[in-house]
Structure 1
Amino acid sequence: MTTLVVGATGLVGSAVAGRLLAMGTAVRGMTRFASKIADLPRGVEGRVGDLDKPTTLGMAFDGARALFLVTPLNQHETELGLAAVAAARAAKLEKIVYLSVPMPAGADVIPHFRSKRPVEEAIITSGIAYTILRPNNFFQNDSLWCRAAVMSFGVYPQPIGSVGLNRVDVRDVADAAVNALSDSAFDGREYGLHGPDVLTGDGVAETFSRHLGRNISYGGDDLDAWAKQAQHMMPEWMVQDLRVMYDYFQRHGLIACEEELVRQQDILKRAPTRFDEFVTEIVALWRE
């Protein structure tokens, strides 16, 4: 039976698609443009569909058994997610695994956290079996955004603050998603997904320093300075959204409780990846 991955060219979606293919599961990836089908992971069946245009979703959803749903960071994320859930109901899918976010007290001030609440509610009340995953901040954000700053300027720039986050490896998230898609034991449940270590800005910089053999400093908590740099890489609305997120991180952190760390091992089926392991790998790649 076919699993539809919405977001199959993205960081998490591509990892989920690859793992499903390795298990022998038929995987379908949805993309907005026919020209992007070639960008899907090898072996993934491509279908055109646009969450912003619900009438285009039938061909992508019809015939699938399960859905792994990643909604994009978008000003209309709620509407896009609700369109996906409606299409899943219309196509009579059997399961949805949704990539959401942690929801500690007060976190709904962050726009791209708050936007996921109505999507979760729609999934829970859809009548479709579901699992909701709540991963912490990704290790791989450093791969995407921080290489030049670290390697060329000796600065770790992500302003995560000094309270700390249990950041997580995307590969752990993908493994948990595949397990949820494959096993009904996880139906009707929500899982936080976290790394084992509480990481601060200074701590991340120290880890990079140790692996590179030279000093890497933390860029600090100045969100005005961060926003000034970020505006060259992303639209203004996204800068403001992420600024609110980093402000929350600096004030409150995003620290997993012991119960979450224990419980996630049920769905992960192994110990989570440590940040030090990730940095060992990424520094080797950056030096090539």
Structure 2
Amino acid sequence: MANRILVTGATGNIGLQIVKQLSVLGENVRAAVHSAKNVPIIKEAGAEPVELDFNRPETLRDAFRGIEKVYLLTPLVPNMVEMGAHLVEEAKKGGVKYIVRSSGLGADIEPGITLSRWHREIEKMIEASGIPYTFLRPNSFMQNYANLFGYTIKTQNAFYLPVGDGKAALVDVRDIAAAAAAVLTKSGHENRAYNLTGPEALSNHEVAEILSKVTGRKINYVNVSEDDARRGMREAGMPEVIVEALIELYAIQRAGYTAALSPDVERVTGKKPMSFNQFATDYVEAFK
């Protein structure tokens, strides 16, 4: 039986959740991995692993062979747009009939911040390809608090961000995955874009209160300066262009531009999006 759906970025935050949800639905899934060490994770999730290495073009051809639909996710790296271009070109060559793109909230706002412009460039490539598409544009992920800030929450009872009192309508990656699974398996979503948010806009002070309640100990949000945030990201080894792109993202959150709520998660999945309290309860071990 030929594989029908290819998921790129299959071991990341969103990708692995999509692989799991599609497998539960009985779909035939091929999941792209960069490293052989991730093969067992994909097999456990119920999909066929396939190597995808941008430095080896033949792996792209093999990954797309026999594929009808693609969930196209690219990592946050300086050459993200170039990666997207290679994937779209390979989709055209392989006769792919439908692309679901993991984009970002605000990609349609011009001129937009750097991350939005990168996402929109890839969206435009997909539009120009002639392949039917759906763009999923999620807000920032709830899971970032576990994956990026979990260590300091565990060890210092605190997390650090330069966003002041700004609010964001954070979305759970499980809801993003549910939306992706829905548009990949049901018709009627072609050539549309959906903004994916959670059910509430929260400040990081409110996030800290929820984490405190769920963990049973006082968790503090520490508002840091942009310079301190830059320093921390540089010390973590982030490329300078990514550091500055994230500083831009934090600035629009601080200004309140990420607080708008969207009904699209429920519109696409038929279910209300998960609250941050639900996320924190489910992921409580990441904070202990």
Aligned residue in 1 for 2:201: 198
Deviations, residues 113-164 of structure 1 (Å, cap 9, x unaligned): 2111121011122221211000000000011011221222121223333221
Aligned with 1:162: secondary structure?
Answer: coil
Identity %: 30
CA distance in 2, matches of 1:207, 1:34: 38
Unaligned 5+ runs, structure 1:
none
Equivalent AA in structure 1 for residue 270 of structure 2: K
Structure 1 274/81 Cα, relative in aligned 2: closer, same or farther at 3 Å?
same
Aligned residue in 2 for 1:77: 80
Residue 104 (structure 1) shift: 6.8
Identify which of 37, 41, 46 aligns with 2:39: 37
Q: Check the 8 A contact 1:159/1:201 in 2, yes or no.
A: no
Identify which of 53, 59, 62 aligns with 1:59: 62
Residue 252 (structure 1) shift: 3.6
Unaligned 5+ runs, structure 2:
none
Q: Which stretch shifts more, 172-181 or 216-225? A: 216-225
Aligned residue in 1 for 2:250: 246
CA distance in 1, matches of 2:23, 2:36: 21
**Alignment partner of 1:3 is 2:44:** no
Equivalent AA in structure 2 for residue 256 of structure 1: A
Deviations, residues 151-178 of structure 1 (Å, cap 9, x unaligned): 2212122333322110000000000000
Matches for 1:111-130 after TM superposition, within 5 Å: 111-130=114-133
Q: Check the 8 A contact 2:209/2:219 in 1, yes or no.
A: yes
CA distance in 2, matches of 1:224, 1:105: 29
**Alignment partner of 1:154 is 2:191:** no
TM-score, normalised to structure 2, is 0.91
Q: Check the 8 A contact 1:52/1:80 in 2, yes or no.
A: no
Matches for 1:136-285 after TM superposition, within 5 Å: 136-237=139-240, 238-257=242-261, 260-261=262-263, 263-284=264-285
Structure 1 285/151 Cα, relative in aligned 2: closer, same or farther at 3 Å?
closer
CA distance in 1, matches of 2:171, 2:253: 15
CA distance in 1, matches of 2:57, 2:91: 11
CA distance in 2, matches of 1:31, 1:285: 25
RMSD: 2.1
Q: Check the 8 A contact 2:78/2:239 in 1, yes or no.
A: no
Residue 93 (structure 1) shift: 0.9
CA distance in 2, matches of 1:248, 1:82: 27
TM-score, normalised to structure 1, is 0.91
Q: Check the 8 A contact 1:101/1:136 in 2, yes or no.
A: yes
**Alignment partner of 1:47 is 2:31:** no
Structure 1 273/135 Cα, relative in aligned 2: closer, same or farther at 3 Å?
same
Q: Which stretch shifts more, 13-22 or 274-283? A: 274-283
Equivalent AA in structure 2 for residue 30 of structure 1: A
